[in-house]
Structure formats: C-alpha cells, structure tokens
Amino acid sequence: MRVAVGADHGGFPLKGEILVVLREAGHEPLDLGAHAYNAADDYPDFASAVAQAVAGGQADRGILICGSGVGASVAANKFHGIRAGLCHDTYSAHQGVEHDDMNVLCLGARIIGSALARELVEAFLSARFSGEERHQRRLNRVLSFENAP
C-alpha cells in the first residue's frame, strides 16, 4: 500500500519511526515532510500535502503527525474525499476504517509513544472498510455533506 506521511515539528521525530514501520511492513511510504526539524513550521502545510496526495490518488492512505494530532485532523478534514481520524487507541484505528472508511490516520506525538504509534499504524493499515449496508448508508450520508452548501 502506498502511504503518504507528513509531520510538523511536533511530530517530526515520530515520523522517522513511522517511516521505518511502513517499510518493514512492506508498504511504500511517500514522505511529504517535514524533511528537517523546523520549530516554526505549520501543521496545515503537511496536512494539505497528505490530504491532496490521498484525495488525488497518489497514495492509498495517509498518516499525519503533529503534537496533539488535533490540528492535523481538523485541517485534513477540510479536503474533499478525506476522512481523517485522530486515534490514540488501536480499536479506533481499525474501527475507523472498518465502519467509517477513514483514509487518514492522525497521531499526537506528544500524547503517545513510539510503541503505541506502531500498533496504531498496523491496525489502521490492516483494516478494510466493511461495506456492510449500515456502514455504507452512514458513509453515504457523510459524503453528502461534502456537496452541501
């Protein structure tokens, strides 16, 4: 699976670890920055890059990392076709895909450690949307919001 990954300064150290996890699992990471630590960078820039890569089909899924994960989630969800979820537990990381077709995982590097981050990424990437009627019905409702005035 091709996975777009982005992080601001708050998530920069954890991003390096996530890239290793992805490669070890046989995935193809698309590193969209930051490529160097910069305390003055801004999470919306990386959220935009990852969201556009996923929405545009250059990546199958995305992972965003900032200090809390909240800003990255808010910013990514502004893009058409993006369903980003902030997850700090493995149940949410897989259930968000299975029930809600989540396509971007957001992590708070100041909230979780690298061991939990690894588990979250593995749960997120191994999950598949169920396609069950109730989940599809709910997803269709959510998707309709994108076209609402």
Q: What is the pLDDT of residue 147?
A: 83
Per annotation, catalytic residue among 27, 35, 88, 99: 99
- Arithmetic mean of pLDDT, 89-94: 98
Higher pLDDT, 34 or 147: 34
Q: What is the pLDDT of residue 119?
A: 98
Q: What is the pLDDT of residue 94?
A: 98
Q: What is the pLDDT of residue 149?
A: 80
Active-site annotation holds for 99:
yes
Q: What is the pLDDT of residue 123?
A: 98
Structural domains present in the chain? 2-145 (3.40.1400.10)
Q: What is the pLDDT of residue 148?
A: 81
Give the DSSP letter string of the chain.
-EEEEEE-TTTHHHHHHHHHHHHHTT-EEEE-S-SS--TT--HHHHHHHHHHHHHTTS-SEEEEEESSSHHHHHHHTTSTT--EEE-SSHHHHHHHHHHH---EEEEETTTS-HHHHHHHHHHHHH------HHHHHHHHHHHHHTT--
Omega within 30 of 0 (cis) for the link into 36: no
Higher pLDDT, 61 or 146: 61
Q: What is the pLDDT of residue 90?
A: 98
Active-site annotation holds for 87:
no
Backbone angles phi, psi at 39, to 5 degrees: -60, -15
Per annotation, catalytic residue among 9, 66, 94, 106: 66
